[in-house]
């Protein structure tokens, strides 16, 4: 949903805040964490013109996942300007930047920089200049570790290439168009679903519709398969454990009087537990092959793992969730920190959580005055840019306060 995501540019924002603020704001001059949090938000807002300019440059020239060469070059130029060291490339276009000494404790901040294959329909000065591509709800990752890493590529690929390093915790954000700008939402436990895609081809024997007895009708086999698959949720899953299986397309035949020789359909399976998804995947194959055999057809099930690797469920760590709430209340006020909602969308941030504790929070962008009211997957998506300094400051405070607390605990 994508995934992830202060639309398009948080990968730059928090780096600036950390590099500018870390030495000063962790000093003794701040007598309270509340003073610290509100102070860092004030300083981030002073940087808003620069933040907006970077965001708009990225928005005008969107690049799809693993193709973000120009975006990555922009990030590297900014890192050079800030004097931040980094490694490149990881996972084709990824960057791993390091801020700090590199010694424990290390905390990670995940950010995105890829776009969606979607035509932007919002008419404004900085509209996407690339047809069929726009920045909305990105689904690839970047990470930052302060002592800090930053990257931009698929989570599983980044992990395989060692991007996490010695990180012991990781935070991420996702924009929320239903939550007002200036608010955040967080939830412990399962937040986003484990997800997989699938494609099914049922092969029979075609023929004229006037003589169906001479055919082995794949349309009939596909129809029974689609209906039977719905029973996997309604009759084989615990009703207290959320799962969903959706068929999203069916293709077969081109003539009204001819039974085709094959039919193709596909869709997605989702569960709030990774084990639940594995069960759906296993039973999907069994049901489709069984229904095809009943109708004298053959079934071929492709889970599309190369193109769409199955995603684990996003499970927010309880202690990190509490850290998010506490920091959010310090910075934004308790009235602006809300309980999050579970959603059956998927996010490959879950791969990071399989390696280290992590939590993903939602950051509000809803603002009717600037028409920031559409889903990040809508061609009418528009970002309330007031969220940029909020997200930057919040990411900075999450990392710095975590480091400060865990440095003290390790010393004791």
Binding residues: 137, 174, 377
Report CA Rg, the chain.
Answer: 24
SS3 category, 165: coil
Q: What is the dihedral of CA 111, 113, 119, 123, to 10 degrees?
A: 80
The interaxial angle of helices 387-411 and 10-25, nearest 10 deg, is 50
Identify the burial level of 20 via C-beta atoms within 10 angstroms of its C-beta, where 0-12 means exposed, 13-18 middle and 19 or more buried.
Answer: middle
Q: Which residues contact 178 (CB under 8 A, 6 or more apart)?
A: 364, 366
What number of other Cβ atoms are within 10 A of residue 326's Cβ? 15
- Is residue 99 within 8 A of residue 147, CB to CB? The reply is yes
Alpha helix (H) ranges present in 26-122? 33-46, 48-60, 69-82
Whether the ω angle into residue 114 lies within 30 degrees of 0, i.e. cis, is no
Binding site residue list for Mn(2+):
137, 174, 377
| Whole-number Å distance between alpha carbons of 261 and 207 | 8
Alpha helix (H) ranges present in 175-317? 218-234, 274-294
Going edge to edge, which strands form the sheet with 298-302?
Answer: 243-251, 262-271, 194-203, 298-302
**CA-based nearest residue to 237, from 283, 196, 202:** 283
Q: Which residues contact 163 (CB under 8 A, 6 or more apart)?
A: 90, 91, 94, 96, 143, 149, 151
């Amino acid at each position: 949903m994508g995934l992830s995501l202060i639309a398009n540019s948080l990968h730059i924002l928090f780096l600036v805040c950390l590099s500018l603020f870390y030495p000063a704001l962790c000093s003794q001059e701040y007598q309270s964490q509340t003073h610290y949090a509100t102070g860092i938000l004030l300083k981030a807002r002073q940087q808003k013109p620069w933040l907006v300019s970077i965001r708009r440059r990225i928005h005008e020239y969107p690049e799809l996942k693993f193709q973000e060469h120009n975006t990555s070059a922009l990030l590297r130029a900014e890192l050079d300007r800030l004097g931040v060291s980094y490694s490149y490339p990881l996972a084709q276009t990824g960057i791993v930047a390091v801020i700090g000494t590199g010694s424990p404790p290390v905390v990670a901040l995940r950010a995105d920089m890829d776009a969606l294959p979607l035509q932007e329909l919002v008419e404004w000065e900085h509209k996407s200049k690339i047809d069929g591509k726009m920045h909305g709800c990105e689904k690839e990752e970047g990470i930052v570790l302060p002592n800090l890493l930053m990257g931009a590529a698929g989570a599983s690929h980044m992990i395989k290439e060692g991007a996490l390093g010695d990180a012991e915790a990781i935070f991420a954000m996702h924009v929320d168009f239903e939550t007002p700008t200036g608010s955040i939402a967080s939830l412990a436990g399962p937040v986003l679903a484990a997800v997989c895609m699938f494609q099914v081809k049922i092969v029979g024997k075609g023929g004229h519709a006037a003589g169906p007895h001479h055919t082995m009708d794949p349309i009939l086999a596909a129809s029974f398969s689609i209906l039977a698959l719905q029973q996997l949720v309604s009759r084989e899953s615990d009703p207290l454990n959320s799962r969903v299986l959706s068929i999203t397309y069916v293709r077969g035949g081109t003539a009204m009087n001819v039974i085709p020789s094959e039919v193709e359909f596909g869709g997605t399976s989702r569960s709030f537990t990774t084990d639940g998804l594995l069960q759906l995947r296993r039973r999907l194959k069994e049901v489709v092959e069984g229904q095809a055999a009943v109708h004298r057809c053959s079934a071929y099930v492709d889970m599309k793992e190369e193109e769409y690797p199955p995603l684990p469920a996003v499970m927010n760590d309880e202690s990190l969730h509490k850290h998010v709430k506490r920091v959010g209340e310090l910075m934004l006020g308790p009235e602006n920190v809300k309980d999050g909602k579970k959603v059956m969308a998927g996010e490959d941030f879950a791969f990071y959580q399989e390696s280290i504790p992590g939590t993903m929070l939602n950051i509000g962008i809803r603002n009717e005055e600037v028409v920031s009211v559409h889903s990040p997957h809508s061609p009418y998506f528009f970002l309330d840019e007031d969220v940029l300094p909020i997200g930057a400051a919040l990411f900075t405070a999450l990392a710095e306060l975590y480091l400060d607390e865990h440095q003290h605990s390790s010393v004791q």
